[in-house]
Structure 1
């Protein structure tokens, strides 16, 4: 029996195609955090209120979160390869526009365009992987998503710090956006190996539901950014209540409409709703803590942008090492038991960070913070491969688009809430105790992630 040359070429092209998907996803997740170290330099260059420092990140993650489910649906309808390529193209153009932004307002607007384009790219990954791989290779390919996501999220501040300090051709912070251009060129070159794929049955789009989700999330996030959480004015409390009310209306619509954004079958198993809560809380901790660390180093300890970025290397190294170890061995052997081990290690890192800040004199570099961040990275690295493997394992073909969009959406929503809440806890305080308070708030969020994660994978084993 002779294998057709086209089939052989498609088989060989799967791994370059997987590289395109992972690199595209890493590029988008990297951009969610790349400005966290560069943000003070951006603010110093462009001016504006100090709250803009949080908006430089939140303007990206908020539309990213809100539109991810719709992006997944568009892939189901129009083709996942087509949406992936369109998203990469728009994302690249928006990156160039960010680099050329003359003021904070345009930069924030272009960041929102980047986030919307990222929402077209990321949810296509799982569906295309399932279209290209079969059997055990599918699990191996899906298992690579978690480590890539976690490592990209943590490496963003390091990359942002290095590029901003390097001041390539006098570009300063602008090179943190221009770096996306060559990366996107590589992604587009590798993407020629991607097959076209769409849902077997054409789903419908729920535009009113998308609008409700965007409005409700915006009303929740807006008062949390740049405000003093201890003394929120009445209008901010009304905004929070209105956001909850609108999101309740969104949930009600999803239960009753004939064309929901999310497949209802996803909620017939208790593990998927628990995965959404777990992802929201976990990524609120990791993204919010990153903001607190880099702002404390630059605003309180007086370190430069390069030192602040490089200070996160222990976190990145711990994450890379633990992700590889968990993805290649631990998850296969111990299954869901790896998740609480990861969260416990991360909590130990948070407590060590509290001790580091407490024992460091104001205005000095907290050297004891480095091993604490290594513990945080090890914990996050243990957790993410186990979590994503268990959360994605039971998906059916017709659930792929909306499930992928939902998991990525709550990740970005968690990132937005983490930046808003933990960042505001830090910025609204005074003296050296504010990073400690933010760490305790992160520990409280981590307990939410732990409680929800107990249901993830309880019925399904990898």
Structure 2
């Protein structure tokens, strides 16, 4: 009888004891993006009072960031695959910190807008690396804990971020005023860089042979710019014919981007998006849903923040405290969705949209009854209801849209949705911001509350129409979320 010799099992590498510090480094870098995504809602009037510029400048300070983020996200994840997630996270974080400093030191609105665009590009470089780094740092049995900690911290930051920004603007620390909103990124970024350099894993690149589709990036970026620029600038310029021509020219350019992606796919080259996902009705319907939903939410958020400050004369802190019930509702809505998505599936979107519509109708009624005498306490319940519905959609939306996407298409489909989400945000800021600012005209802050109330009501009606459109589109999405 011969003995059967077995090779000893390979020892399992013990997880790095510093992995939780690495998680906090990723969180710190992510928090910078969360803080800066809503900065104009809080600091916009203070920026305008200090640097001057028109309402279009305020829109560009918001839309320039999200537009750059939309374009950059098309390649951000791919850069991590090509050159390593840690390297891209570190470069993105360093660039974000430096561009934040440039924002804080900006002497004119134009310089600030350029700095915000640079911020968005570096943000697109760092954001896609976070989840991959967490997977690299934690063993399978701890991934649930890591992501479980990630979600609530991000949710809490979403609530506290605008309030902290409002406190910083009103506190005027060392005479910095609104500039501290950007300077707060320096300690966050410094921690992320210092901790990340020590503990983030340097995993070998997964796709060194991949080539970036730079022509595709240029086509997509040019198409987005042709669409957004006239929407933001058209009102101040009196809607000359060339602004309408620019918007029209964006359509064939988007089509050219699609054709370009198909040709690269047929030639066996790497593409920015997987063309096959757009052949699925559920996914293309999801793309439209994302644009409509995030356009409504982001545009309405900007208009509400501007209404409270420019229309009612609230300080930045008072405005953010007034909107805090919105954020609390969103936090509770996300928790409810996380618990019930497996049972409700697609129906959770319709529940959330119904609550959003109820909140909007209640807010319109408040303005109708109170008029220029509207007070902060009048808005607490409507904003809470609207935020609760909004939060129910945030968590499950992408998983529902990708319910019928094939496994090999998931990465590209998710990346495209992230980019489209930012495009939708830019469109919302451009369209709803233009409507709101066009209605309040050149009235000085706080001097025409009734005019501002009427402007807010028009904005509510448009947001309500977009919410109804999203409700209808929702029936075209998959019934169940992707596992």
Q: Same fold (TM over 0.5)?
A: yes
Does residue 216 of the first structure (1) align with residue 223 of the second (2)? yes
Aligned partner of 1:325 among 310, 327, 336 = 336
Q: Which moved more, 1:173-182 or 1:223-232?
A: 223-232
Give structure 2 stretches of 5+ with no counterpart. 1-7, 441-450
TM-score, length of structure 2 as denominator length = 0.85
Question: Is 2:326 the partner of 1:315?
Answer: yes
Compute the displacement of 1:360 (Å): 2.3
**SS of the residue aligned with 1:101?**
coil
CA distance in 2, matches of 1:4, 1:190: 28
Specify the alignment match of 1:34 in structure 2: 39
Aligned positions of 1:184-223 closer than 5 A: 184-191=189-196, 192-195=198-201, 196=203, 198-199=205-206, 202-223=209-230
Q: How far apart in 2 are the matches of 1:22 and 1:404?
A: 20
Residue number in structure 2 paired with 1:95: 100
Q: Note if 1:351 corresponds to 2:356.
A: no
Kindly tell me: are residues 247 and 96 of structure 1, through their superposed partners in 2, closer, same or farther at Cα, counting changes over 3 Å?
same
Structure 1 residues 268, 51: closer, same or farther in 2, change over 3 A? Answer: closer
Give the 3 Å change call, closer, same or farther, for CA 156–323 of structure 1 in structure 2: same
- 1:324 is displaced (CA, Å) by 2.4
Structure 1 residues 230, 84: closer, same or farther in 2, change over 3 A?
Answer: same
Corresponding position: 1:183 with 2:188? yes
Aligned to 1:411: 421
Distance apart, 1:146 and its partner CA: 7.1
State the 1:255 CA deviation.
Answer: 1.7
Aligned-CA RMSD value: 3.0
In the other structure, the counterpart of 1:439 is 460
- The 3 A distance-change label for structure 1 pair 26 and 283 is farther
Structure with bigger RCO (C-alpha 8 Å, 6+ apart): 1
Q: Distance in 1 between matches of 2:235 and 2:115?
A: 27
Q: CA deviation at 1:124?
A: 2.1
List per-residue Cα deviations over 1:327-381 (Å, max 9, x = no partner).
Answer: 2x22244333322211211121111121122222226435322211111111122
Shift, 1:145, TM fit: 7.1
Q: Distance in 2 between matches of 1:266 and 1:16?
A: 37
Shift of 1:60: 1.0
The answer to whether the 8 Å contact 2:396/2:481 transfers is no
125-134 or 169-178, larger mean C-alpha shift? 125-134
Q: Which has the larger radius of gyration?
A: 2
CA gap 1:199/1:357 in 2 versus in 1, 3 angstroms: farther
Map 1:410-429 onto structure 2 (within 5 A). 410-429=420-439
CA distance in 1, matches of 2:93, 2:286: 28
Conserved 8 A contact 2:282-2:404: no
Higher mean displacement: 194-203 or 220-229:
194-203
Distance in 2 between residues matched to 1:120 and 1:144, nearest whole Å? 23
In 2, the alpha carbon distance for the partners of 1:126 and 1:457 equals 25
Q: Which moved more, 1:169-178 or 1:147-156?
A: 147-156
State which drifts further: 187-196 or 46-55: 187-196
- Output one character per residue of 1:78-108: Cα deviation in whole Å (capped at 9) or x when no partner: 1222211110110001111111111111111
Partner of 2:444: none
How many angstroms apart in 2 are the aligned matches of 1:155 and 1:350? 23
- Provide the rounded CA distance (Å) in 1 between the counterparts of 2:41 and 2:27: 22
Would the alpha carbon gap of residues 161 and 96 (structure 1) be closer, same or farther in structure 2, given more than 3 Å must change? Answer: same
2:65 is the counterpart of 1:60? yes
Partner Cα distance (2:345, 2:397) in 1? 9
Q: Aligned in 2, Cα 1:188/1:275: closer, same or farther, shift over 3 Å?
A: farther
Preserved contact between residue 46 and residue 102 of structure 1 (Cα < 8 Å): yes
2:120 matched to 1:115? yes
Shift of 1:419: 0.9
Partner residue of 2:378 out of 346, 368, 375: 368
